[in-house]
A and B are shown apart, each in its own frame.
Chain A
Amino acid sequence: MKIEDVYNEYDRMFASSNMPFIRCNTCAKAYYYPRTVCPFCGSSSIEIIKSSGTGEIYSCTEFNGGFYGIIKFKEGFGAYMDIEGNNIVTGRNIIIKFREISGKILPYAFVD
């Protein structure tokens, strides 16, 4: 797999409102930020999988009138995201939604 293939697949999944991540077939760890070699074990046997799109706020911060934080997903990977919704605090459960940011469809976290 080449890095462009990862980005293209991510874009396709975002466009159909699916949250992608990468599972390493060797060490079974999950990660989100595209690398064609597993950052945990160095294996190049990886696959892109659809996440449940659910998780919790690991930590969050408010600035410029919005929230931003680290989301830890059910499948074990983490990502930076904008966060929207009510009563946004560390530890709350989130679901993933999608929106266009500067011409790109990207996921953001939503607290119900």
Chain B
Amino acid sequence: MISGFAEAVYKNYDGSVYDLMDEALGKALEMAGIERKDLDGFMTTFLPGVFDGNIYMHFFPDQICGYLGITPKYIDSLDYGGPSVLSALWRAERLIKEGVAENILLLFGGKGSDVRKRKQTVDSFEKLYPEVTNTPYRHLINLYNSMNPVSDYALAAERHKKIFGSTDYQRAELIAKQRKNANRSGYAMFTGDLSPEDVLKSSIIASPLHLLEIVYPVDGFHAFIVSRKSGKLRDIRVQNYGEAHQSLLPPEVDDITVTPAIESSKNFRKEILKCDFYELYDSFSITVMLQLENTGIVPKGQSGKFIEKNSISVDGDLPLNTGGGSINRGQPAYMSGSVLLYEALLQMNEMASGNQVKNARKVFINGIGGWSRNHSVSLILGD
């Protein structure tokens, strides 16, 4: 169970990534009521460019543990982008159950601004390093005019429009509704009135996607401490879990509106429908729509109409991305998984102030990401 959780998130952080992780860890330890010496497990991830600009760091988890003063019995690094932290939580719970460790630190993040300011993303970072080839497909992928992941999600949004008749306005409505949640929460990075028309007036980055339906990369770390004892927090655990990974490229699948979320959620669809609130990965507007359909919350092709007709506020039909999502909170180091988990834990511990879901007993969280949406993690947290 989680004994402590914290974030240290900034739009632009001037200092080093090591200061940022120290800040998040310090706050999480305080909540958990334990000290660094009590941490005996460590799980993290490395993405290029977000660790003070380094494209790579040899023996990365060990470097971090050494710096933070942690002597773990167990070290792990999960490398599939945004959903990785959700898998780390599930694995940490199991490791503790097995007696491998007592207090496992999940530390995920980095400085997105370092990459953002170089006008690249972690997926397109090879454009800055011609000697790096990110895929086995070499020039057949990387010499074309792509802008991943934006161009790839734009292709999914365009296909969804073509096949199911979803509209730009429906995607913009989702963004406007998430902004309402953000305004109400009082802890979002981006706030203020935002109408669907405002979203559609923002510049088109890769058609049909507009600037305001694309997550903004920021600087930050989240620290989650998974412990044998729950401490001051509610004793919540992963109730249902699934992860799925696919290896075919989007041009090789029959339908790019189908993601591995279908597979990762398939064993507990009925339970998903019974949750009190929902945190779905929101790297782009279309990402949320694909997950609504792929996890069985909404019939295939109907997510646009669903968004039009339903409220996603904490007292609405389907409380969704209750803190405004990473679209409004910023995406630390190109990964939104920690933002989803952090918000879920605020809600489940009655710490969400003005935006508290009443009687938040169960939450469905879905993370999706990595190269070409190849990875999905679905889980339900509850008592």
Are B158 and A82 in contact, with the CB atoms below 8 A?
no
User: What 10 pairs across the A-B complex have the smallest Cβ distances?
Assistant: A78-B251, A61-B154, A63-B206, A59-B159, A59-B155, A62-B207, A70-B251, A101-B143, A33-B137, A61-B206
Instruction: Give chain B's interface residues, CB within 8 Å of chain A.
Output: 136-141, 143-147, 150-151, 154-156, 158-159, 162, 204-209, 247-252, 256
Find the A residue at minimum CB distance from B155.
A59
A81 touching B159 in the complex, CB below 8 Å, given contacts A32-B251, A106-B139: no
Q: Does A98 contact B (CB under 8 A)?
A: no
Residues on A with C-beta less than 8 A from B247 are 39
User: Chain B interface secondary structure, helix, strand, loop or mixed?
Assistant: mixed
Residues on B with C-beta less than 8 A from A2 are none
Find the A residue at minimum CB distance from B137.
A33
Expressed in whole angstroms, the minimum distance between the Cβ of A85 and any Cβ of chain B is 15
Residues on B with C-beta less than 8 A from A106 are 139-140, 143-144
**Interface size, chain A (Cβ < 8 Å):** 34
Instruction: Give chain A's interface residues, CB within 8 Å of chain B.
Output: 3, 7, 10, 31-35, 39, 58-64, 66, 68-72, 77-82, 90-91, 101-102, 104, 106
Residues on A with C-beta less than 8 A from B150 are 63
Residues on B with C-beta less than 8 A from A104 are 139, 143
Are A70 and B250 in contact, with the CB atoms below 8 A?
yes
Are A35 and B147 in contact, with the CB atoms below 8 A?
no
**In the complex, which of the residues A59, A91, A101 contacts B144, with contact meaning CB atoms closer than 8 Å?**
A101
**In the complex, which of the residues B209, B248, B256 contacts A39, with contact meaning CB atoms closer than 8 Å?**
B248
Are A62 and B251 in contact, with the CB atoms below 8 A?
no
A63 to B154 alpha-carbon distance, docked (Å): 10
Most chain B CB within 10 A, of A33, A61, A80, is at A61
Residues on B with C-beta less than 8 A from A3 are 136
